[in-house]
Structure formats: structure tokens, C-alpha cells
Amino acid sequence: MEELREEAAIRFNGIAKRKPNFKLGPITLEIPAGYITAIVGPNGSGKSTLFKMALDLEKPDDGTVTVLGHAVGRSDDAHMKQRIGYLPEEPSEHESKLKASEKARFNSFWYESWDVNRYQELLLTLQVNDNLALGKMSKGMRRKCDFAIALSHSPDLLLLDEPSSGLDPLAWKTMIELLHRYMEPGDRTILMTSHIVEEVKRLADYIVFMAQGRVLGVYEKDELFSSWFTFFVRGEGLAEHKIAGIPGQCGVDSIGGSTFRITTNRAFDAEQWCEAEGLQIVSRQALELDEIMSTLLLQDQRGKRKS
């Protein structure tokens, strides 16, 4: 797994959790401070479980979690929790009877840095009325309210579980803009999960791929998208065993004659190799995030079958 170079906002150190029919970890992972990291992976891969461990809402069976320099789960972590904003995947059932304004008022007592002007400004920007019981709101409306509340104490660390779930396209765009603005000071961190390719592409600096309770890889986004390519390669009498030796090869298909479609995660080296071997790259296409995810899953399954 690639090492993240920056100072960590969250450190998962050998964490493991066993649930009925599910095993998470052991995972060692650092979420860099000052960046947006997106965790992507199929349903049930353990993304929310990882989040809950960072928030002390679930205890790992093994390993430790450090958030903003503090060990999670100790009695003296109140100050650290003040510095976190959290948007859970599902709204909290026991808050449904509360008006959004009442939830905001409660939070204003708890968070020392709560900024009522900021809260009002966020409501205005997101076009929500907080004088309504949370349980009576539409899904998207409630999401926007919870989002405004999570941001109103200007946390240093923002944990967003499927932030755009239920939002209409306009609200989604507004949320993206608000998150970019939130990151402007330069020292804030977002850890988010998402199934939306466009959202990850627009927001993330780093991408963590997860599947079946394990981390498949951690990548810097721009590096990821400039490394993963599909090439159509042609060469006189080119045989499959030869093209299979292309650097970073993640898949080879013959598409007739002496032309092959290959997937590589080392596009630059692969291009140089083709040139040195006298092979022609007929066309090239950058892989989309979901295609990269499927390839990583396939490699992981093959690896597991071999071991």
C-alpha cells in the first residue's frame, strides 16, 4: 500500500473488528491533514464502520485510532470531539421530533466555536427552513439541515458519510462549493465516503479503495487518473504472452488480428515500453473510478484465490 506523506489527521493503527458475517481489518491507514480523502468501495465493505471507530461510536476489537493527535476512546477526548463535524449516513431517529432550530441550539451549547451567523448563512445558502421538525422534512431537506449544523462550529475535521445522498443536483452543486470554501484555510481535513464518481473526482485529493473489510489501496487522485489507462496496442505478429509483459498490466484481451486491449496502472512506463518494443498504441483511454475499482477487486479476488 502506498504511504501517505503528509501529517495524519486520523491514524488507524492495526484496527480490526469482527461482527456476525463480517470481518474488518486489520487496517493501518493514515488520513492526511489538510486534504480531502474519499473512501470508496462496494456496499458493506466497512466504510461506515471505519468512520464510527474514528468517532468512538464503535470500538475496534484490536488496534487503536488517533484523531487530531488524540487517542480515541479516552475519557479526556472532549476537546478533540469539539473539533470534529460529522454527517452520518442515516439521520438519527431519536432527533426526528426535534425542530432543526432546536438541534442547532443544542449544538450551540455543546460546541464552543459555534457561530450562529455562519449557521444562518448556511441555511440561506442551502435554502432550508429550520423551523420544522427534522422527521417532517424531506430526505434532502434534512440532509441539508444536518450538513449546515455539522459545519457551523467550523470543525478542523469533517467526517461526511455519503454527503450528497438525497440531494437534488442544485443542492449537490451548492454542497460542493461549500466544501471547497470550507477547505480554503488550508489546515482543515475532510474524510468522506461516496458512491458518486463525479463527487469523488470533484472533491477528493486522496482516494482509499475498500472491499470486504480491507483497504485495497490508497492513491493520490491526480496520480491515479494519470496512471490507469486502457491502451489498444498493435504490433506485427504480436502475441498475448509478449503484450502481457507490459508494465503495470492489469488485464489483456485480444480484439482480433495482432491488436490487444490492455489495462495498465503505469501508463507512462507502459507507453515507453511499447515504444521500445516497436508497438503502436492505436488509442488510449483514461479509466473511470468505477473501472479502477472493478479492476482492483478482480486483482484482489485473483490474489486471494492464489494464496
Give the nearest distance from C-beta 59 to ligand ATP in angstroms. Answer: 13
Member of 2, 22, 240, 244 binding ligand ATP (CB under 6 A): 22
Whichever of 76 and 90 has its CB closer to ligand ATP, that residue is: 90
Burial of 3 per CB tally in 10 Å (0-12, 13-18, 19+): exposed
Q: Does 59 bind ligand ATP (CB under 6 A)?
A: no
The residue among 139, 76, 72, 128 whose CA lies nearest residue 104 is 128
Q: Does 102 bind ligand ATP (CB under 6 A)?
A: no
The residue among 56, 58, 79 whose CA lies nearest residue 69 is 79
Burial of 189 per CB tally in 10 Å (0-12, 13-18, 19+): buried
Q: Does 93 bind ligand ATP (CB under 6 A)?
A: no
Q: How far apart are CA 286 and CA 86, in angstroms?
A: 34
Contact status, residue 163 vs residue 192, Cβ threshold 8 Å: yes
Q: Does 95 bind ligand ATP (CB under 6 A)?
A: no
The span of 41-49, 70-78, 79-87, 169-177 binding ligand ATP (CB under 6 A) equals 41-49
DSSP string over 197-239: HHHHHHH-SEEEEEETTEEEEEEEHHHHHHH-EEEEEE-TT--
Q: Does 48 bind ligand ATP (CB under 6 A)?
A: yes
Q: Grid coordinates in use for 215?
A: 483497504
Give the nearest distance from C-beta 86 to ligand ATP in angstroms. Answer: 14
Q: Does 19 bind ligand ATP (CB under 6 A)?
A: yes
Q: How far is CA 2 from the centre of its chain?
A: 16
Q: Does 43 bind ligand ATP (CB under 6 A)?
A: yes
The sign of the dihedral angle between the CA atoms of 278, 280, 284, 287 is: negative
Q: Does 164 bind ligand ATP (CB under 6 A)?
A: no
Contact status, residue 232 vs residue 281, Cβ threshold 8 Å: yes
Give the nearest distance from C-beta 47 to ligand ATP in angstroms. Answer: 4
Give the nearest distance from C-beta 42 to ligand ATP in angstroms. Answer: 7
Q: Which amino acid belongs to residue 195? A: H
Give the nearest distance from C-beta 162 to ligand ATP in angstroms. Answer: 7
Member of 44, 73, 135, 303 binding ligand ATP (CB under 6 A): 44
DSSP string over 26-51: EEEEEEETTSEEEEE-STTSSHHHHH
Member of 9, 15, 49, 228 binding ligand ATP (CB under 6 A): 49
Q: Does 163 bind ligand ATP (CB under 6 A)?
A: no
Cβ contacts of 94 within 8 Å, gap of 6 or more: none
Q: Does 45 bind ligand ATP (CB under 6 A)?
A: yes
Give the nearest distance from C-beta 164 to ligand ATP in angstroms. Answer: 13
Q: Does 20 bind ligand ATP (CB under 6 A)?
A: yes
Q: Does 41 bind ligand ATP (CB under 6 A)?
A: yes
Q: Does 47 bind ligand ATP (CB under 6 A)?
A: yes
Q: Total binding residues for ligand ATP by CB under 6 A?
A: 12
Residues that bind ligand ATP (CB under 6 A): 19-20, 22, 41, 43-49, 89
